[in-house]
């Protein structure tokens, strides 16, 4: 996740509250998906961006996760994701993002 994206996500979380945001990733492999998910949940693991040591605890999904995919019409899915869903390791990517989502820190109100 680039530094500009981190700044934008932090700004939106500050403006609207983290509970109002949902991050949808489209990274092509499990490793990059997991790092991006970790960045928006637990903070930037590289300590380089605006989210370094910032635990936003955002809800994060990968576009290939079935929970997310089931919300998309077939026409939009084919147009926007299409054949990539057939060539990427969807289960591995989904497991990596789900693992980070489950690492979400507890909030005082939860």
pLDDT tens per residue across all 110 residues of the chain: 899 999 999 999 999 999 999 999 999 999 999 999 999 999 999 999 999 999 999 999 999 999 999 999 999 999 999 888 889 999 999 999 999 999 887 765 54
- Name the pTM for this structure: 0.89
The residue segments making up the domain with residue 97 are: 3-101
* Dist CA 75 CA 103 (whole Å): 33
| Any domain includes 71 | yes
Residue 107 within any structural domain of the chain: no
State how many domains the chain has.
1
Residue 46 lies inside a defined structural domain of this protein:
yes
């Amino acid at each position: 996740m680039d530094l500009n994206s981190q700044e934008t996500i932090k700004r939106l979380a500050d403006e609207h509250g983290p509970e109002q945001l949902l991050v949808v990733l489209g990274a092509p492999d499990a490793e990059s998906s997991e790092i991006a998910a970790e960045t928006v949940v637990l903070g930037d693991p590289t300590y380089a961006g605006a989210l370094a040591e910032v635990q936003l605890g955002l809800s994060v999904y990968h576009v290939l996760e079935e929970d997310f995919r089931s919300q998309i019409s077939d026409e939009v899915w084919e147009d926007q994701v299409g054949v990539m869903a057939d060539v990427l390791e969807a289960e591995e990517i989904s497991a990596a993002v789900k693992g980070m989502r489950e690492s979400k820190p507890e909030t005082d109100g939860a």
